[in-house]
């Protein structure tokens, strides 16, 4: 693609709100010289738990680590199955495959609702189904009530991949707390960023405590504890990894969490502008435009008219300085998963119909409404030229 170098984008796909506040917080951590999980991490966990309405939360090094720890908590065995949308980030499938289990791919509901279809999920349940993963695409809630009915009926676990959806209220509680385990990401492009980072919440305290142990080799005491107590001994009663966040990331995340309400407001205005301008485009689908509830508005996806040359549209937008992306190439289109036993169970009719038509437009809170109007107008021009 003849995209201009990064600095020449007029409007980048994503950006963050990092400023002097984060710089001050991070500098303070560096001056303290305690850099791995400690007081900042504990404070980040407390503040996240307070805001999301849980007793506790476990900060980790990435959203992928959060999902991996969730799957480890299920004690998946070879042959076990975990159902998830085909239209998700590959991390969700990888953590299941790495456990020797089978990611079973379900369809999404419709071109204008890109969350997993509970009817297809119900159809895909077998005696081996251990869990269902609900991914809140672009920050819009998946149909949790319907998915919960399916998991309850079959004794399966409901995991929420809420990487797109920090602090979104739905049916009286936050996303991530409807299921048994909720996973969040603080990657550089997410609404709350720590550079890299993640968080896990769990309905059951015992599950959450096991996830906290597995985050740090299942050690009974941490380096932080040993520093404070002077006791050098520890035991290991399970298999774990090092998925701890750094104190630098935790300090960054704490400041970012406080900025989320303003970020949400800006995104709301941008999405309204996009929808207003793009309503003029015949056959262009604006996913979730009919939703009335809360959303993190993480992405601004559109589904191009059938038969559109997406590459040409992206070239046209790039020429106008507008960066775009695709969320996502469906998991079953990726080489590693193409012949996976869980890839062919569902016809994936909607996913396959929209896969080549999905396009994500720039959306971040450093954009002005004029930026959104400009990007939308550029898309309209590209569509008229086809
Ligand atoms: C970002 C993301 C992840 C992975 O999070 P990382 O922090 O990048 O590891 C997982 N699932 C979804 C839906 C994501 O958007």
What pLDDT, on the 0 to 100 scale, is given for residue 226? Answer: 75
Domains of the chain: 20-256 (3.40.640.10), 260-385 (3.90.1150.10)
- Among 1, 5, 12, 3, smallest CA distance to 323 is for 12
Residues with CB under 6 A from ligand 1: 62-64, 88-89, 91-92, 135, 161, 163-164, 185, 187, 198
Q: Which two tokens stand for residue 276?
A: 């207003």
What pLDDT, on the 0 to 100 scale, is given for residue 221? Answer: 77
Quick check: helix, strand or coil at residue 152? helix
Best residue for ligand 1 mutational test, from 61, 63, 326 (most atoms within 8 Å of Cβ): 63
What pLDDT, on the 0 to 100 scale, is given for residue 230? Answer: 78
What pLDDT, on the 0 to 100 scale, is given for residue 2? Answer: 59
Q: Tell me if 9 sits within 8 A of 235, measured CB to CB.
A: no
Name, in order, each residue with C-beta under 8 angstroms of 78's C-beta and a sequence gap of 6 or more: 100, 101
What pLDDT, on the 0 to 100 scale, is given for residue 1? Answer: 52
Active-site positions?
A: 190
Residue whose Cα lies nearest atom 14 of ligand 1: it is 163
Centre of ligand 1 to C-alpha 63, Å, is 5
Best residue for ligand 1 mutational test, from 163, 241, 328 (most atoms within 8 Å of Cβ): 163
Q: Which two tokens stand for residue 251?
A: 């300090």
Centre of ligand 1 to C-alpha 280, Å, is 33
DSSP secondary structure of 239-304: ---B-PPBHHHHHHHHHHHHHHHHHHHHHHHHHHHHHHHHTTSTT-B-TTTT--S------EEEEP
What pLDDT, on the 0 to 100 scale, is given for residue 145? Answer: 98
Centre of ligand 1 to C-alpha 233, Å, is 35
**Long-range CB contact pairs, 103-106, < 8 A, 24+:** 103/331, 103/337, 103/340, 103/342, 104/129, 104/342, 104/345, 104/346, 105/330, 105/331, 105/332, 105/337, 105/342, 105/343, 105/345, 105/346, 105/348, 105/351, 106/346, 106/348
pLDDT < 50: residue spans in the chain: none
For residue 88, give the ligand 1 atom closest to its CA: 13
Centre of ligand 1 to C-alpha 183, Å, is 9
What pLDDT, on the 0 to 100 scale, is given for residue 7? Answer: 57
Instruction: Note if the pTM is more than 0.85.
Output: yes
What pLDDT, on the 0 to 100 scale, is given for residue 229? Answer: 80
């Amino acid at each position: 693609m003849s995209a201009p170098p990064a600095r020449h984008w007029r409007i980048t796909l994503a950006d963050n709100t990092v400023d002097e506040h984060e710089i001050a917080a991070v500098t303070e951590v560096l001056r303290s010289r305690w850099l791995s999980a400690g007081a900042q991490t504990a404070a980040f966990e407390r503040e996240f738990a307070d805001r999301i309405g849980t007793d506790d939360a476990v900060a980790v090094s990435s959203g992928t680590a959060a999902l991996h720890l969730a799957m480890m908590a299920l004690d998946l065995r070879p042959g076990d199955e975990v159902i998830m949308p085909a239209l998700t980030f590959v991390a969700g499938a990888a953590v299941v495959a790495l456990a020797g289990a089978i990611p079973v791919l379900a369809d999404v509901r419709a071109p204008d609702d890109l969350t997993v279809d509970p009817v297809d999920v119900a159809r895909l349940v077998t005696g081996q189904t251990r869990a269902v993963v609900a991914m809140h695409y672009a920050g819009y809630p998946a149909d949790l009530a319907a998915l919960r009915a399916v998991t309850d009926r079959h004794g399966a676990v409901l995991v929420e991949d809420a990487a797109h959806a920090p602090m979104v209220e739905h049916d009286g509680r936050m996303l991530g707390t409807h299921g048994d385990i909720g996973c969040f990401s603080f990657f550089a492009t997410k609404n709350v960023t720590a550079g890299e980072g993640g968080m896990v919440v769990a309905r059951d305290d015992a599950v959450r405590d096991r996830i906290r142990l597995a985050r740090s080799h299942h050690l009974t005491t941490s380096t932080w504890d040993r520093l404070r107590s002077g006791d050098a001994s520890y035991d290991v009663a399970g298999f774990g990894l090092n998925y701890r966040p750094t104190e630098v990331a935790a300090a960054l995340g704490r400041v970012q969490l406080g900025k989320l309400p303003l970020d949400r407001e800006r995104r709301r205005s941008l999405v309204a502008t996009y929808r207003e301008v793009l309503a003029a485009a015949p056959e262009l689908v604006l996913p979730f435009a009919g939703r009335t509830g809360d959303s993190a508005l993480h992405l601004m996806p559109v589904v191009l008219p059938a038969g559109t040359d997406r590459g040409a549209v992206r070239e046209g937008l790039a020429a106008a300085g507008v960066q775009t992306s695709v969320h996502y190439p469906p998991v079953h289109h990726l080489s590693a998963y193409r012949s996976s036993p869980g890839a062919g169970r569902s016809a994936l009719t909607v996913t396959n119909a929209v896969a080549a038509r999905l396009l994500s437009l720039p959306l971040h809170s450093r954009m002005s409404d004029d930026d959104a109007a400009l990007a939308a107008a550029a898309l309209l021009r590209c569509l008229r030229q086809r």
